[in-house]
Structure 1
C-alpha cells in the first residue's frame, strides 16, 4: 500500500468514525423523542378522560390569543388529539428520515474502505 492510499484510507476511517458518532447522537435524540412521545400519549389520555367526563351539553372553551371562544365538545376532543399527534409524528418522522440517511452514508463509506 503506498503513502497516498494509506492517507486516503485513514481519511475514510476518520469520516466513518465521524458519521458513526453523528448517527449515535441522532439515535439518542430518537430515544428522547420516544420518551416525550410517551409523556404526550399519557397527557392525551388524561385530556380525553377529562373531556369524556363532561356532559355533552357542557360548555367548553378554547383559548385563542387573549380570548376564550366557546367550542363544541366533540370539536375540542378532536383538536386535542390532532394537536398532540401532529407534534409527535412530525418530529419523530424527521428524526427517522435523518437516521436512515446517515446509515446509508455510513454504508457507502464502509464500502469505499473495503474497496481499498
Structure 2
C-alpha cells in the first residue's frame, strides 16, 4: 500500500510539473500572438501610406529613414516567422496536453489500485 501511495505521489508531482510546463507554453504562445498582432498593425499602416511618405525605423535611440519596399519586406518576413513559431508553439501545447491526459489516466489507475486495498482492509477490520 505504501508503494502505491508513493507511486501516486510521484505521479501527482509529474502532473503538476506538466501543468506548469503547459502554463509556460501558453504564456509564450500569447507573447507570440501579441507580436503577430503588432506586426499586422504595422502592415496595415503601410497600406495607408501614400506615395512619397517616409518610413522611419527605430534603431536604439535613433530614427533611421527606411525604404518602403524594404520595410514591407521586413514585416512580411517577421509575420512568416511568427506564423511558423505559432504553429510550433501550438504543437508543443497539444503535446503537453496529451501528456497531461496520459498522466491523469495513470493517476486514476493508481487511485483505483489504492481503493480496493483500502476497502478490503477496512472490511476485514469490521469483521474482526
Moved over 3 A (4+): none
* Whole-angstrom distance in 1 between the partners of 2:73 and 2:32: 21
Residue in 1 that maps onto 2:22: 30
* Whole-angstrom distance in 2 between the partners of 1:26 and 1:50: 36
* Whole-angstrom distance in 2 between the partners of 1:15 and 1:80: 43
Contact 1:44/1:80 (8 A) holds in 2? no
* Whole-angstrom distance in 1 between the partners of 2:107 and 2:115: 12
Determine if the alignment matches structure 1 residue 87 to structure 2 residue 88.
Answer: yes
Deviation at 1:80, TM superposition (A): 4.7
Deviation at 1:84, TM superposition (A): 3.3
Change (3 A) 1:30 1:113: same
* Whole-angstrom distance in 1 between the partners of 2:89 and 2:3: 38
Could you tell me which runs of 5 or more consecutive residues in structure 2 were left unpaired when the two chains were aligned: 49-67, 118-128
Could you tell me which runs of 5 or more consecutive residues in structure 1 were left unpaired when the two chains were aligned: 1-8, 63-72
Change (3 A) 1:48 1:84: farther
**Cα RMSD between the aligned structures?**
2.5
Residue in 2 that maps onto 1:110: 111
